[in-house]
Chain A
Amino acid sequence: MLGPICWVSVVMSRFNKFFVGGIGIAVGLLVSVFVIKIQGNSPAEVYRVLFDYSIASSFSWISTLDNTTPLILTGLSAAIAWRAGAINLGQPGQFLMGAIVAALLGIYLPFPGWISIPVILTASALGGALWSGFAALMRQRYGMDEFVSTLMLNFIAEYSTTYLVTYPFLDPKAYVASTVAIKKAFTLSTVNQFNEGFYVAVAVAVVSWWVVEKWRIGYEWEMMGLNLRFARVGGCKVSDNYMWVMLYSGALSGLAGGLLILGGTQHRFMKGIGGNFGWDGVMLAMIGNNDVSMTALFALFFGALKSGGIGMEFETGVPSEFIMVMEAVIVVSVVATRSVIEFYGGRVKAFLKARKVVKR
């Protein structure tokens, strides 16, 4: 027998899982309509182009999935760390570390492709894990908040990788600071039109879901995020788990960087290559409420927006930077929707509870 209170909470938890993200996206798209209108463009036209260039043809799907590949991984990187209570905001830096490792190994590794590609991808994951592990170590040894240290490490990663591609590994023939291209043999090919990198990302996402939902350590991570003291009293090795979740999270971001080098279009490390993939991951985790499957799903949506954005700039003249605004508006709407529902949902719950007590 489920009482009304119970029903409300069941409905709310389901609601929180998917619909809040959906409502947030709807509100975000609606707000964007007004912004487009104010800027003097036709919203219908913009949305039609966005649709055409993201999911309307097989060609646009290719570009959408290419954009989705790093987003899934950085999104999961943020989501998995956050749900364990580890405030890893270092996705941009960990991404860059993974990318630079992949780019350099891709130039110099002497082995054939079938050995090198797995080696490079593993190394790029380790590169990201090194960067987040550094922050985790500083937290455990000295109690330095990881949320400030990962942010600072982002800047340090950005400047050091820029240094590497500007001086020691500069390709003198390139127009911007960048390394030379990696060996042809190491670039990922396509399967069923889609880049192999996408399959890797999906496989990693499935494994991550399995680890987080089915493994013991995943359960312990979740308990740590919900209530650290309870988790410790319940027998979790909190500090080991914390280290593992930070390493895992960093490895995901690093792998995203590695896949971008091997599977993207440039096949080299250029200055500014990370773009917004790291911060997009942070936003995705927020939209997906740190849930693995939801974050991966919304990554697909962001990937579609990104490839649509290029077409939008091409056809309607609305700059592709508008996608950044849309993404941010969506995140703000999701946060708002979630808090409104929790705020008023809590009141409804309290009201029902009070009525029950009064009836008695």
Chain B
Amino acid sequence: MDFVVALLRASINSATPILLAALGGAFTYYANVFNIAMEGMMLTGAYFGVIGSYFFGSWEVGILFALVSSLLLSLLFSLFAIYLRSDEFVTGIAINMLALGGTTYLLRSTFHVKGAFISPKIIGIPSWNFGFLHDVPILGSILGGYPFLVYVSFLLAVVVDIVVFRSRFGLRLRAAGEEPTATRSLGINPTTVRLVSALLSGVFCGLAGAFLSLGYVNLFSENMSNGRGWIALAIIILVRARPLGILILSLLFGFFEALGIVLQNSPIPPQFTSMVPYVATLFALYVYARRKRKVSITAEVGDD
């Protein structure tokens, strides 16, 4: 029983950063911005979260730093990819490289360490306990006592769903993605809408980064996002960015990651358990592709 509880708790913790990043990416998906800079935004958020928390001694400043840094990076991305219309793909990769190189260098030059920075002075995000949950026997131990961002991110999944499908902004967002010309003819500037979507994804990825370095663990290590941004992107493709689908798939991927963590004490070599989320992503893409009609490369790469 303890094993199952530990597994489920680890799943929810692991799912949160992926969920946050994927929800942010949903905005850009609907605005038809190919946003692959999520990995870099997350990493930047994680680094500056630690900076804020360490130097100001408070997790609030940490989250603020994470948000602002990630927002600035997404602003840079939007400047190139949306305003100057440079290739979104190339720009995204360049931004990711900048984030990786920048955080690795800053880690070394600020804290004079290589690899990882750990300190008791990094204040983590506080956990929330619900009084009423405490009394419920099993549910209480599974659902209570996470860093509060976990609850916020699950709530955000619902909020994003409402915003995208039920609000005026959501309608404009989807319209700007599908038919920019028609949108413009109605007096809405699709470029602005796309900019807002990119900035929103920056905010969400910043939160995801802050959760990585202040909630999940209290440290920063080189390249600590470790492909979570890419997995989030794969999830977005798989569920066509439906927020509730993102929620479910993030939990699934969180489960796979947690499986890797829990199995670390088993005789299976840790390298294989760490591999699980990436293999699962490939498998999910395979299942998705099988469901679609069989497409040859000629038909699929059309004119987008």
Q: List residues of A whose CB falls within 8 A of some B CB.
A: 39, 85, 87, 89, 138-140, 142-145, 148-149, 151-153, 155-156, 159-160, 162-163, 166-167, 228-229, 232, 238-239, 242, 279, 282-283, 286, 318-319, 321-322, 324-325, 327-329, 331-332, 335-336, 338-340, 342-343
Contacts and interface: CB of A to CB of B under 8 A. Distances in A.
Interface in B269-297: 269, 271-272, 274-275, 278-279, 281-282, 285-286, 289-290, 292, 294-297
Given A238-B298, A328-B94, A343 B269 contact: no
A149 B104 CA distance: 26
Contacts of B122: none
Contact of A163 (B84, B108, B271, B302): B271
B100 A328 contact: yes
Interface residues of B, number: 51
Nearest to A238: B298
Given A159-B272, A324-B104, A338-B86, A148 B285 contact: yes
A156 B275 contact: yes
B301 interface: yes
Interface in B97-121: 97-98, 100-102, 104-105, 107-109
Nearest 7 CB-CB pairings of A with B: A339-B86, A324-B101, A163-B271, A328-B98, A339-B84, A142-B289, A321-B105
Given A166-B269, A325-B102, A338-B86, 5 more contacts: A85-B301, A156-B282, A286-B90, A324-B101, A332-B76
Contact of B230 (A148, A156, A229, A322): A148
Contacts of B297: 139-140, 143, 238-239, 242
Given A39-B109, A142-B289, A163-B271, A156 B278 contact: yes
B295 A143 contact: yes
A332 B94 contact: yes
B230 A152 contact: yes
B91 interface: yes
Nearest to B301: A228
Interface of B: 76, 80, 84-87, 89-91, 93-95, 97-98, 100-102, 104-105, 107-109, 226-227, 230, 233-234, 237, 269, 271-272, 274-275, 278-279, 281-282, 285-286, 289-290, 292, 294-298, 300-303
Contact of B237 (A145, A321, A342): A145
Contacts of B101: 321, 324-325, 327-328
Chain B CB count within 10 A is highest, among A85, A152, A153, A336, for A152
A336 B302 CA distance: 27
A360 to B, nearest CB: 29
Contact of B269 (A163, A239, A329): A163
Contact of B104 (A148, A156, A321, A336): A321
Contact of B278 (A138, A155, A335, A339): A155
A228 B105 CA distance: 41
A139 B86 CA distance: 26
Given A155-B275, A321-B104, A239 B298 contact: yes
